[in-house]
Chains A and B, each alone.
Chain A
Amino acid sequence: MIEGPPRPYADFIPEFLKGTVGTWVSHRILEPGIVEHTSTTGKRVYSLRAAATPNARYSTDTIRKISQLARKYAGATMRFTQALNMEFITSELDQTEDLKKELELLGFPVGGWGNHLWSVTSCAGYFHCALSATDSPSVAQKLGNELVEYFNWQELPAKLTVSVSGCPSSCGGSFLADISVNGIHTEVPVVTPDVKKCDLQGTAFTCPVGAIQLKPTPEGERTLEIRQNLCIGCGLCVGACGGIIFESPEKTDGHSIAIGGRASASRYGTMLGRIVIPFLPNEPPHYDRTVGAVKRIVDTWKEDAKKGERIADWIDRIGWEKFFERTGFPFFEQSMEYLDVRGIATLRDGSGR
């Protein structure tokens, strides 16, 4: 048996794709979620994309049904896309239509691609993660419910991706999404007596702004001290050491909304999301303010942008002043860049030096 992931990939792709690797010349979007690929050999295949649940959790029942559908229509194999959606590749168009019907019966709408909503993704959040400041799956669920019309029906100016992360680690990949919601901690963590069990030096080193100091206790032991005025609430020390905790996350945790991320190595390259709303509280289950703000951004963009302009391009054209004017959101100083402890501007692209 070979070590590492199953290889070679040729053993896992559908039979009808094996002879055509590298021969593709063009593709055409037939309808939201269905694309026709044409090869120089004259062969045509169709890929179909269905939405995933926000944090991509499935019961084994559903997985077995998906596996059956893949056997029936898609050469007994399927794939997961970059944005966690499900993709099936079929060799006949009428099979694709049947597959679409069956998937929609299962509760997975088919859509995306082109000028539509492509994906709503989230990290684990409270569902399975220890560090989250906001419950990303339920936020993403709500956003998905609200934006579903753009997934397979209504057209947008350009591609739209939405992503929700539970904490500043951005495991949901959020800073690259057009609209992203990121959980943030806003309080300074507290050092408890349990800190003794941790690697003190290592924990102090995790602090990006040098706010954690080693300090002797009256008993002659060592403990950590967090300097209130320097802490930026990133939560890295809380992740590194169980003895440092956030005392009242129910009051202080929340999320920020960033827009205008995109990934590309061409032209002006990758853009990270920029924070337009610095803080909103956790309000499960409806998250009225968060969902309302995202909808407002989408509506304004839809009305204002030229065809083909992603949110990043739209902002690039109109500038931030006009953005705040048109959405009606107030501008908060917390959206501005800040200087870190050494006086180095922490710019988005890391070009601080």
Chain B
Amino acid sequence: MSEPPEEVRKGREILSEVRKGPWPNFLREADHTRYPIDLYGASLYLKRDLWTTGGYVSVPGAPTGILMRVTSRPDIGESANVVRVLLPSGNFVTSDMLDTLADFADKYGVGMLHAITTGHNVEIPGIPKDRIREFVSAFKDAGMEIGSTGDAFRNATACIGQVLCEYANTDTLDVRDKFYDRYNDYAKYPTFPHKVKLKISGCPLDCARATQKADIGIVGSWKDAPLVDKEKIKELPAESVEDIIRSCPTGAIRASDGSVSISSKDCTQCMICLRKGNGAITPGKRKQFLIYVGGKLRGKKGPLSSKLLARVDSIGDAMDLMDRIVEVFTDHAARKERLGDLIFRIGMKGFLDLMKMKPAALNVKDLRTNLFYAVNEDDRQRIPEEIGKIVRGE
């Protein structure tokens, strides 16, 4: 056996340092697998990435779900392909499913699981090229599905919702199931200009990051004021009731004979009183859903926050609106342009025009500060007329 190259030897020294410490350690895990650890060590020593671009591939039966990883140093580590596994809603995994995944990782991969990725899939790394088709058919027979790569609907994620959370305004996991019932073809076959991510949050606290990490985000909310449980609020200590009243940013909460009343006109659904109320204050009965568009971290224009597109009354309406968003996106985005980049390029007004929606105050975070604007003949007529009506009190 020949002496390993210098970068491998030096790399091993670095790795032994990384292995230390109380936090759960990925290298101590990797030691029990067939992952090419020397390749990783060498890249730490050389301070450069030793994997090269592989991209996504489609094989018969699996148009999405397979990522290629090519090594630039075949002498110390082999190329490896990765498959992405779709999980049930809420990332619930049964013990049987975990065992199945482990079996597949042992049989086809390097005996390692990536559970879970930041996109909430499970990945099985290290599957050789010639065994991918065999893997795909065996995996399907085991009742599992791969997907979530390429220019398709990526894995939709949802917060835990009504299954375990008292703030949720809808059963978010059911929404995700319904999404896949309706859009599975778009999730399976890459047909969009770029990837589209959907995230579903049950309440405005937005645990699913629907307002930022998703091209399309659905956030459950309610109209008017939250409900107050008069009995429960009496059980709370007086200071915490005072704290609830004081912490309302719009002053919508008032004390009224031992309990509190919340003005529906002033409530902005900010969730602060719900969090402090410990069960005494719950979301309102009349639900609404906020549809956000254009959030992303990756891609041309860097991280962009999403913008509120509309408020709708039901998940059915939200899905109908999504049809339209996806249609506009497919028709108007350039190749490899995310929805957020499209909106950045043409502006929110341009996007609303394409959506055939009337711009409203809810669509903007802030107003125009630049005085230069091409005000046209129509505007010169219409704007003074409408303001005049208000001023005259008509």
Give the chain B neighbours of A4 by CB distance below 8 A.
Answer: 86, 145, 147, 180-181, 184, 187-188
B166 touches A27 (CB 8 A): yes
Bound CA–CA A110/B268 (angstroms) = 35
In chain B, residues 20-38, which have Cβ atoms closer than 8 Å to a Cβ of chain A? 20-33, 35
| Residues of chain B with a CB closer than 8 A to A145's CB | 20-23
Interface residues of B in 304-335 (CB under 8 A from A): 304-306, 334-335
Interface centre among B21, B86, B88, B347 (most CB of A within 10 A): B88
- Please name the residue on chain B nearest to A208 by beta carbon: B300
B128 to chain A, nearest CB (A): 15
Q: Once the chains bind, are B95 and A67 in contact (CB under 8 Å)?
A: yes
Decide: A7 and B23 in contact? CB cutoff 8 A.
no
Give the A interface residue count (CB, 8 A).
112
Min CB distance B183 to A, Å, is 9
Would you call A208 and B164 a contact (CB within 8 A)? no
Are A5 and B86 in touch, CB under 8 angstroms?
Answer: yes
CA distance A261 to B379 in the complex (A): 40
A253: nearest chain-B partner, CB-CB: B47
B335 to chain A, nearest CB (A): 7
Inter-chain contact A55/B305, CB cutoff 8 Å: no
The reply to whether B53 and A286 form a contact with Cβ atoms under 8 Å apart is: no
User: Given A4-B180, A68-B95, A349-B305, does the pair A60, B86 have CB atoms closer than 8 Å?
Assistant: no
Per-position binary interface string of chain B over residues 39-78, scored 1 when its CB falls under 8 Å from any chain A CB and 0 otherwise: 0100111111111111000000000000001100000000
Closest to B159 in A: A82
Question: Is A90 an interface position by the 8 A CB rule?
Answer: no
Once A3-B184, A59-B29, A176-B212 are accepted as A-B contacts, the answer to whether A9 and B92 lie under 8 Å apart by CB is yes
Q: By CB atoms of chain A within 10 A, which of B48, B143, B176 has the most?
A: B48
Query: What's the nearest-Cβ distance from chain A to residue B175, in Å?
Result: 10
Q: What 0/1 pattern do residues 100 to 144 of B give for CB contact below 8 A with A? A: 011101100001111111101000010000000000000010011
Q: Which residues on the A side are within 8 Å of B340 (C-beta)?
A: 350
Nearest B-chain residue to A173, judged by Cβ: B118
As a 0/1 sequence over residues 22 to 64 of chain A, the CB contacts with chain B under 8 angstroms (1 = contact) are 1011111000000001100000010100011111111111111
Given A68-B95, A145-B22, A208-B300, also A123-B118 (CB < 8 A): yes
Asked if A350 and B94 sit within 8 Å, CB to CB, the answer is no
User: B278 near A: Cβ within 8 Å?
Assistant: yes
* A206: contacting residue among B49, B147, B300, CB under 8 A: B300
Tell me whether A6 and B49 are in contact in the complex, defined as CB-CB below 8 angstroms, given that A71-B95, A76-B96, A284-B18 are known contacts.
no
A315 within 8 A of B: no
Number of interface residues of B (CB under 8 A): 135
Binary A-proximity of B279-323 (CB < 8 A = 1, otherwise 0):
100100000001010110111111111100000000000000000
Chain A binder among B201-209, B255-263, B354-362, B385-393 = B201-209
Q: Is the CB of B304 within 8 A of A52?
A: no
In the complex the two chains form, is A130's CB within 8 Å of B21's CB? no
A214 interface contact, C-beta 8 A: no
Which of these, A9, A66, A172, A234, contacts B90 with CB under 8 Å?
A9
Is B92 a contact of A77 with CB atoms below 8 Å?
Answer: yes
Q: How far is the CB of B168 from chain A (nearest CB, A)?
A: 8
Contact mask B154-196 → A, CB, 8 Å, 1/0? Answer: 0101011011111010010110110011001001100000000
Decide if A229 is an interface residue (CB 8 Å cutoff). Answer: no
Known: A5-B89, A22-B162, A285-B14. A175 touches B297 (CB 8 A): yes
Partner of B26, one of A27, A55, A172, A348: A55
Contact B14 A284 (CB under 8 A): yes
Q: Is the CB of A349 within 8 A of B184?
A: no
Q: CB distance B88 to A64 under 8 Å?
A: no
Distance in angstroms from A353 CB to nearest chain B CB is 5
Q: Which residues of B contact A202 (CB under 8 A)?
A: 335-336
Is A80 touching B290 in the complex (CB atoms < 8 A)?
no
Question: With A and B bound together, what is the CA distance between A127 and B77 in angstroms?
Answer: 12
Interface centre among B82, B184, B208 (most CB of A within 10 A): B184
* Complex A-B: 6 CB contacts under 8 Å: A63-B115, A145-B21, A173-B209, A240-B336, A253-B48, A350-B301
Q: A141-B21, A285-B14, A285-B15 are in contact. List 17 more A-B contacts (CB 8 A).
A: A1-B140, A3-B188, A4-B188, A5-B86, A5-B155, A5-B180, A7-B89, A53-B25, A57-B112, A79-B160, A80-B120, A81-B91, A107-B28, A141-B26, A266-B272, A350-B301, A350-B304
